[in-house]
Structure 1
Amino acid sequence: MESSITFIDGEKGILQYRGYDVEKLANLTYDEVSYLLIHGKNPEDEELEAYSRTLKDERRIGSTLIEVLGFCNFNIEAMDALKTITSLMSHCDPDLNTNNPQANTRKGMRMIAKFPTIVTSFSRLKRGMNVIEPDYEMSHGANFLYMLRGSRPTNLEARIIESDFILSADHELNPSTFAARTVTSTLSDLHSAVIGGLCTLKGPLHGGARMAVMNMLDEIDSPKGAQNFVLHKIEKHEKLMGFGHRVYKTYDPRARVYKQLAREIAMEKNDMKWFEIAEKIEGAAYEEYVQNRGKPIYPNVDFYSGVVYKYLDIPPKLATAVFATGRISGWIAHCLEQYSDNRLIRPRAKFV
């Protein structure tokens, strides 16, 4: 399948959105990168201002959808909430029965704007707390942390969550993006395609690794326990969460950025514990895998992002939904690309 959105070189550890290295894009705002993914070009100042203003104005999800979250929050998890509310949003979208590129772009922008509100509202209701209305002036990431925690984030925290959303925004034809494109290829509506992506991302082999990394850090709890933990995993032939990748044969470029972000937030909070545990795990994993299996193993995107989430006080069970909050821009970009030159995706099976 041809695409002009994301380029990956797994041998060299290169990831680019629309021709730009993700390491450099991580220093921009999420709005800028979201625009780049969807429109295929960097925005002019006035284009970015209009795009950002629209996203801010569309943040609210309304009291009816908040009530729905309140009714069901005790029995479901965040990804189920995202699926449910996304489905309901489709029925009241102003462009419901329109499927042209302009209408689909507007639908996509509404979902990008509302995902943070859905995720944070669900999380607060789940914890028995009042929902916090969006702030209509904060950045995309700062507003997310504000709605989640009830207080304004520091400048560094706001920058880090923006970078997180950017690093999560796209990764070529991963399972959830392929699922979204497949739904799109049937000429179904955009909300249905995004729900297809959400259903796929919910699977623990795709979107569940960040939560597993956070739980792993809690289990180890001290840098001194890292070596034995890794050895135990190798001896039991168990997967070490946050390591290895189907595409990258070297260091995941996103992991490099996340590692630096984790170091920065640890230093700001004057609490190096989680970062030091992670570094010990990384070092032990590299050493033991070379010794026992003859080749190194490297962190992937989920490893140090899990460390970052620990420092940002993001609940582990919310990790996959936060991932989706960043990935939504990539899904929208891929769906729009699929609509623009559509051919039904219909793989063949090899009978055995």
Structure 2
Amino acid sequence: MASPKPKPHTEQVSVTVTVELGDAALGRAAAVPAAAVGRAVQTSLQEQHKGSDTPPPREVWLYDPGYVSTACCHSSITFIDGDKGVLEYRGYPIEALAASCGFTSVAHLLLEGTFPASVSARSLFAQSIEPKAGIHPLVGDVIQSFPRDAHPMTMLMSATAAMSACRPEWNPALVRGDGGSLRLVYGTRALRSHIAQECISLIGSAAAAIFRHMHGMSVYSERSAAVSVKHSTGASPNSFASAFLRAADPQGSIWPENSQQFAVFAEALDVLFVLHADHELNCSTAAMRHLASAGSDVLTCLAAAIGALYGPLHGGANEAVLNMLEDIGSPDAVEAYVASVKRQERKLMGFGHRVYRSYDPRAKLMRQLARKVLQEAADGHNQRSSEPTGADTTTDPLLLIAQRLEKRALEDSYFTERKLYPNVDFYSGVVYRAMRFPNVFFPVLFAVARSVGWLAHWMEMLDRDALDAERKIVRPRQVYVGHRQQRIPQDAMEKRSMPQAKL
């Protein structure tokens, strides 16, 4: 039962606090220490209540539902200017990264702060993070225990939690001495980097195994390790996506490896991974940091982040977009659907964003990618006989509906005045569908890419000194609105052997 919100008693106070000025030219926001604000307000209230019968509050908390205006850390990983539609990884614009860098190089940039120093360094890094066809037997057994039609995010979350049992040496809770300190388990940056790279590979490998399980293939791939190593040169900018497609479809029955379609889809998937690699302190990344603050092991942190990403308002949004487009049915039905949205009878999925107040820069790139992928999907379909595919022609009905819906919404002041512009989820579902991924698998692909961002934030957090304020265990407060000091009704009392407390 939801707690009622009582009508608040308010008082006006004036306070003076120190502000960490932002840089307007760079779009950086100003920051005010919350504790300092609380102390200043409390002091002001104490002054106002001198000589009054009503005591001032002992503590002052900042009420911020959803942490809309709360910053909990300093970070140098990702910059977002929502008003201008800017997204940068380590200062590099997302448009330039998507056009010029493969996911492997972007992953290195996010984790280490720099691009690989040489071709050989990139090749070694690529081999360390690429998905593999093989998985740990315990993880494989967990995946196999699920029905094939279970949601793959449930499988991925469970498989990642199971990985924790396979890596006891990574678990601070199992280390004796010093309270299971993270310092004893993740002691050096080199070790943390190695663990992060292996985790990226483990998540991708589990995702590929889940895809195989869903399609009736063996969870334990028969593809030899030698074949996987042969391709793991890192020379191709699309090497990570190519490795994932090979691991997910070892026999090449869905994506024949030597085909033109495989090359186009691998490039498109690699770009999608780049676009989804990080997005500052979103819900799942915040969950990753939240658990890390408690000293949880890295794989448990990742399982929690996957659980957060599973939500339809977060990582499941692109799946929801595709379901919406299928519900609309045809371009001619767009007008009626828009009208129902304006009557607040339905939701417009894929529009609007918690941070962006203009066009999501990733959505622009996704729209360009959609046409190329759909063209290749059409060509591939024409070469097959009756084999079903996700998109039959370049005029895939869902793409036509999406384009009509985007145009209609951008011309309507109802949406533009509310800053409801297309986001990254709007076109990504159409692209994934054309590449023959099932709808329910979209969030898994999101998780494979975002694992890099999660681990970059995990590393950045642990790089700080153990006594740093940003390493404190996360513990928000609440504004209590319930009853106090109530007596238990006689008919609700139960007998116990212990003496009853006297109130």
- TM-score normalised over the length of structure 2: 0.65
For 1:30-109, what aligned pairs fall within 5 Å after superposition?
Answer: 30-45=103-118, 46-56=120-130, 60-74=134-148, 76-93=150-167, 95-97=169-171, 98-100=185-187, 101-109=189-197
Deviations 1:13-33 (A, max 9, x none): 000010001111113111111
Cα deviation, residue 219, structure 1? 2.4
Partner Cα distance (2:131, 2:218) in 1: 21
Query: Number of residues paired by the alignment?
Result: 351
Q: Which has the larger radius of gyration?
A: 2
Contact 2:132 2:247 in 1 (8 A): no
How do 1:220-231 and structure 2 match up within 5 A? 220-231=328-339
Query: 1:177: Cα distance to partner?
Result: 0.4
Q: Cα 1:193–1:200, aligned 2, differ >3 Å: closer, same or farther?
A: same
Which residue number in structure 2 is paired with residue 243 of structure 1? 351
Deviation at 1:88, TM superposition (A): 1.8
With 84-93 and 37-46 compared, the bigger mean Cα shift is at 84-93
For 2:445, the equivalent position in structure 1 comes to 322
Which residue of 1 is the match for residue 74 of structure 2?
2
TM-score (norm 1): 0.92
Does structure 1 residue 128 correspond to structure 2 residue 209? no
Contact 1:104 1:190 in 2 (8 A): no
**1:331 and 1:31 mapped to 2: Cα distance?**
15
Tell me whether 1:211 sits opposite 2:319 in the alignment. Answer: yes
Alignment match, 1:299: 422
What amino acid is the match of 1:344?
I
For the pair 1:344 / 2:473, whether they are aligned, the reply is yes
Aligned with residue 14 of structure 1, among 61, 68, 86 = 86
Once residues 96 and 291 of structure 1 are traced to their aligned partners in structure 2, the CA distance between those partners, rounded to angstroms, is 51
For the residue of structure 1 that corresponds to 2:324, the secondary structure is helix
Once the two structures are TM-superposed, the CA of residue 295 in structure 1 deviates from its matched residue by: 4.7
Deviation at 1:116, TM superposition (A): 2.5
Deviations along 1:45-95, whole A, 9 cap, x unmatched? 132121112224866313442232112234742112112111221222384
1:213, distance to aligned residue in structure 2 (A) = 1.1
Match of 1:309 among 432, 435, 440: 432
Q: Quick one: distance in 2 between partners of 1:57 and 1:267?
A: 27
SS at match of 1:37: helix
Counterpart AA for 2:447: A
Taking a change above 3 Å as real, the CA distance of residues 291 and 247 of structure 1, as seen in their structure-2 partners, is: closer
Equivalent residue for 1:182?
290
Give the C-alpha shift of residue 202 in structure 1: 1.4
- Distance 1:60-1:7 versus aligned 2 partners, 3 A rule: same
CA distance in 2, matches of 1:292, 1:123: 37
Q: What is the alpha-carbon distance in structure 2 between the residues aligned to residue 157 and residue 89 of structure 1?
A: 29
Q: Which amino acid aligns with 1:146?
A: R
Worse-superposed segment, 256-265 or 102-111: 102-111
Which consecutive unaligned segments of at least 5 residues does structure 1 have? none
The alpha-carbon deviation at position 176 of structure 1 amounts to: 0.6
2:96 partner letter: K
Q: CA offset at residue 344 of structure 1?
A: 2.8
AA aligned opposite 1:162: D
Per the alignment, in what secondary structure is the counterpart of residue 170 of structure 2?
Answer: coil
Instruction: Give the counterpart letter for 1:278 in structure 2.
Output: A
Deviations 1:96-154 (A, max 9, x none): 35322333322221221122221232233233233444834162112223333433252
Q: Which deviates more, 74-83 or 21-30?
A: 74-83
CA contact (8 A) 1:157 1:312 kept: yes
Equivalent of residue 407 in structure 2, options 263, 266, 283: 283
- Give 1:351 shift: 4.2
Specify whether residues 32 and 292 from structure 1 end up closer, same or farther in structure 2 by C-alpha distance, changes over 3 A only.
closer
Contact 1:185 1:339 in 2 (8 A): no
* Structure of greater relative contact order (alpha carbons < 8 Å, 6+ residues apart): 1
Contact residue 286 and residue 296 of structure 1 kept, 8 A: no
Residue 194 in 1 paired to residue 266 in 2?
no
In the alignment, is residue 147 of structure 1 matched against residue 220 of structure 2? Answer: no
Distance 2:356 2:312 in 1: 19
Letter of the structure 2 residue corresponding to residue 127 of structure 1:
H
What SS does the corresponding residue of 2:280 show, helix, strand or coil? coil
Larger mean Cα displacement after TM superposition, 217-226 or 275-284: 217-226
Alpha-carbon spacing, 1:92–1:263, altered in 2? closer, same or farther (3 Å): same
